[in-house]
Each structure stands twice: as C-alpha cells, then as structure tokens.
Amino acid sequence: MEIKVEKGRSEKFPCELLLLFSFESPEPLEGPIKSVDLEWKGYLSTLISQGDFKGELFQCRLFHTQGALPARRVLLTGLGKKEEFDLEKWRGAVSKAGQFIRDSGVKQFVFQIKRFKGLSEEEITESFVTGLLLGTYQFNEFKTLERDKIRKIEEAALLGETEQETSRIGQGLERGRIISNAVCLARDLANAPSNQATPNALAEKAQEIARNEGLGIEVLDLSEAEAMGMGAFVAVAKGSQEPAKFIILEYNKGKGLDTIVLAGKGITFDSGGISIKPAERMEQMKADMSGAAAVLGAMEAASKLQLPLHLVGIIPATENLPSGKAYKPGDVLKTLSGQTVEVISTDAEGRLILSDALTYSLRYKPKAIIDLATLTGACVVALGDYVMGLFGNDEALLKRIEDAAAKSGEKAWRFPLWDEYFEYIKSDVADFRNVGTRAAGAIIGGIFLSKFVEKTPWVHLDIAGPAFIEKERPYIPKGGTGVGVRLLVQLLRDWNS
Ligand code: BES
Ligand code: ZN
Ligand code: MN
C-alpha cells in the first residue's frame, strides 16, 4: 500500500472513499466529520440522531454520496466512548476501517489528520499508519490457488490543511511506516515454515539488513562457535542437519553512545529434541525464533530511525531435533561462561542457547542487555497470549521497559527473580540444571538466564504467549505477531530522554 500526504480538506477532496471517525453518540460532531456534515447538508448528523450510526467501537458503515460530495463513498467508523479513547483503541479502529475498505474491494481512500484529545499530528499519524499497516497485514506467500481473490488497498492519502500540518503528518507517516515494516518483517519470519526460515535464512536476512542499512555483521558457524567455547549452543545444534548460525549484527550511530545488546532466541524449529514434544500444535514451534525475529525488526527500525545509540543484536539460531547426534538428558555442558549445566530436558533448549549469547554479549560491556525468547509454556499458563513475562535484575531498566510497554500497547507483566528460586536449578553433578520444577516454570527460566549476565543491567522478556496467536486482535492478525518490535523501538527511542 502506498501512503502519501496531500494538502486539502476532506469535504472538498475527490476520492474513492473518504474515511471518517466518530465517538459514540451523543457526542457532538467535531473536526473533519463536522465539515463533511455541513457540506452534505446535515446528512451525517441526521443519520446519527436517528440512531443509524451509534459510533460503537470498531463499528463500520459505508455510504454512497451520489454526488453530494467529491468523495464517492464515505466510511464511518466508531471510536467508542470518548472518555475511554486512547492510541491503542485508535490503532484498532484504523485497522478495522482498513480491513473493511480492503474487503470491500475499494482500492483508494483519503483521511484528514487533525489533532484531537491532546494528541499531536505526529502521534495521530504514526498510530494511524501503524494500525492500518499492521491490521491489513496478510501472509499469503505460499498460497498459489485463487490468488486473484487476494485484495489489497493500493493507496491511502493523508490530508493536512497547512504546510505545518503536512510536514508533521509526513514525519508521523515515516516513523509509522518504518516501525510497521519492521513488525511485518518479524511476522513474516515467524509465519514462514521452518523449512524456509532456517538458521541460514535468518543469517541471510540479517545480512540483507546489514547491507541495506550499512550495519556491521558477523555470522559464526558451528565449528567457530565450538572453538570459542559455546558448549551449550553447540549441544543444542548438534542434533540437527540444518547448519546452525550465531549471528551478530551491529549498529553504531557514533562514538561514546550507550551500548545496548538485544539478544533473541532463534530456534527455527523446536521439536523438544530427545525430550520430544507431543505432536499436537508442534507445527507452531516454527515460531520459536520469534525473539530473533523481533531483534532483527528492532535493529532495522532503529537504524532507519537513526537512533543515537550503539546496538548489538545477537541471535543464536538452530533447530532443536532428536537424532543420533543429539544431546541427551543427563549430559553435562560447558557454557561459554565456564559454568556447567546438567541437561534435564532437551526441551529447555532456549535458555541453553541464550546462556552463551548472554555471555558473548558481555564483551561489549553494554549498559543494558535485553533478551527476547519464546522460553516457557509456563509463561503462557500464567499470563495467556496477550502479555509477555518481564524479568530482570535492574529496577531502572525494568521501569523503562514498563514505560515502553504502556506506550507501545505491547503488554509486559513483571515476575520476581528472588534468590530462593535458585534452589530449584541446583544440580548434583554440575553448576545448574536446565530445568527446575513445573511450578514457577517461567521464573525458573529467568533465574537460569540471570546466571549469565553477571552484574550487567538485564531484562528477559518471555514472549511465548503473544508471539503466535490463534485468534486475531484488532490490529494483529492470527499467526506470528512480531511482538517485541514495537516495545523495543519505543524503549530505544526514549533511551536518552
Ligand atoms: N519453545 C518452548 C516454549 C513454548 C511453549 C513456546 C509453548 C511457545 C509456546 C520451549 O523451548 C520449551 O519447550 N520449554 C519447556 C521448558 C520446560 C522443559 C522446562 C516448556 O515450557 O515446557
Ligand atoms: Zn523452544
Ligand atoms: Mn523447547
């Protein structure tokens, strides 16, 4: 979809469809919808007063103007109760309107951006674009039948009245587009099957981003990782024939900037290994690299937004499969940190590959490490699929994440990491076991990871719930969600303020 900014007023603007929003009645009409109503001789206010459009949240109704306006059609979309309105509802309402327009087969529409409810043109536009692009996302790369039935909006025009407005709208548009494209990149990777989105494909994607954005990149193969001492990552990778990759992507806007490491779990398929998973829903384990996908998306967006930071993205990428070469329960692994781990379950592989990634990240002496991982089913049991688990060792960093979560609409909920939980992963033969009890499973995953960051401020986001969803949300279609990208980008944008 092409989105452009134009100068004009919606009641005077010729187009296929004019998009209008209204709060739930009995709110008086204000802004562009009021001007359109005047031009249309009170048609809309009559309609609303007669109870034919109530403005309930996400309600959509399409009208033909029959020459009464330069626009051929008008789509009214409800914003719900005015006092309950926020940017999250706005993204949802825009998405619902976009889906309605797309599914009606209309190819072009216009919307006038006006500041309201204390929000700037930039904010309104950024969230408009985000809601529109994320809500109309489709993954149909592998559909070959009836491709002619795939519908797409071709063009959206955002109207500003003055030079000042159009320039602010342009900035909001650019940011919204960059962030949405990054989320869609992560969604594409999570939705892609594991025979396409292999560790090598992740490395190639990272290379492509590095090329386009001028980032530094290094991709270690298994023998290099082994030579370096990454015993945990190597153990997990050994069972697969698909070459594993340890990917390091680096963005540096200048000297002396804060260094932040983003580490993402890149299990391109998790069968559980020798501790094999039940078959039911195992196909969803193609999305076990959603943490890695979020890191790639966030790195791309940070670079395109030219954020003043030094960012390092670290992605251990491999499959977790059973085979004659696979690691086994009872094996003792020597991690890159030198600490040893007794394998209890080969299905607790995420924390193993991340332990080496976290240790590796310490060489950058970062101000903060943030890891994202579809780490535990226990986190899904605890929080469901709306919310990610939040764990960390640094109050200030945790607070920053919570602020970014609230702003971006990607919810994160804090778990404790008290020392007492460490009891669960003590081993008789090694420094730690990779599994504790079923109880507090998500926390135990976090405790395990905490042993590999030394004193560095660190946060772990368990995205097992929200990474892949079975039921769509207002602006998140079902399947891979790209969760984490928007939270990370918000965090990084606000980092120096
Ligand atoms: N990738 C899974 C976690 C997961 C489960 C993600 C459901 C998304 C949806 C992870 O590698 C795993 O298997 N974790 C185990 C840990 C256990 C053995 C301690 C789990 O949650 O059962
Ligand atoms: Zn896994
Ligand atoms: Mn697993």
Residue-level pLDDT at 117: 85
Question: What is the tens place of the pLDDT at every residue in 53-108?
Answer: 999 999 999 999 999 999 999 999 999 999 999 999 999 999 999 999 999 999 99
Atom 16 in ligand 1: residue holding the nearest Cα? 348
Mean pLDDT of the chain: 97
Q: With 90 as the cut, is the pLDDT of residue 26 above it? A: no
Tell me the residues surrounding ligand 3 (ion) with CB < 5 Å.
270, 347, 349
- If you measure from the C-alpha of residue 208 to the centroid of ligand 2, how many angstroms do you get, rounded to a whole number? 26
C-alpha neighbours within 13 Å on the C-beta side of residue 98: 29
Known catalytic residue: 438? no
The ligand 1 atom at the shortest distance from the C-alpha of residue 275 is 18
Per-residue pLDDT reduced to its tens digit, 465-494? 999 999 999 999 999 999 999 999 999 999
472 CA to centre of ligand 3 in angstroms? 25
Domains along the chain with CATH numbers: 2-182 (3.40.220.10), 192-493 (3.40.630.10)
Catalytic residue among 277, 367, 414, 473: 277
Ligand 1 lining (C-beta closer than 6 Å): 270, 288, 345, 347-350, 374-378, 380, 435, 441, 464
Q: What is the pLDDT of residues 157-211, one digit of tens each?
A: 999 999 999 999 999 999 999 999 999 999 999 999 999 999 999 999 999 999 9
Residue 272 CA, ligand 1 centroid: distance in Å? 8
pLDDT of residue 18: 98
Query: What proportion of the chain, given as a percentage, has pLDDT over 90?
Result: 98
The string of pLDDT tens digits covering residues 336-375 is 999 999 999 999 999 999 999 999 999 999 999 999 999 9
With a threshold of 0.95, does the pTM exceed it? Answer: yes
Query: What per-residue confidence (pLDDT) applies to 25?
Result: 82
| Distance between CA atoms of residues 333 and 335, nearest Å | 6
pLDDT in tens, 231-261: 999 999 999 999 999 999 999 999 999 999 9
Q: Is 277 a catalytic residue?
A: yes
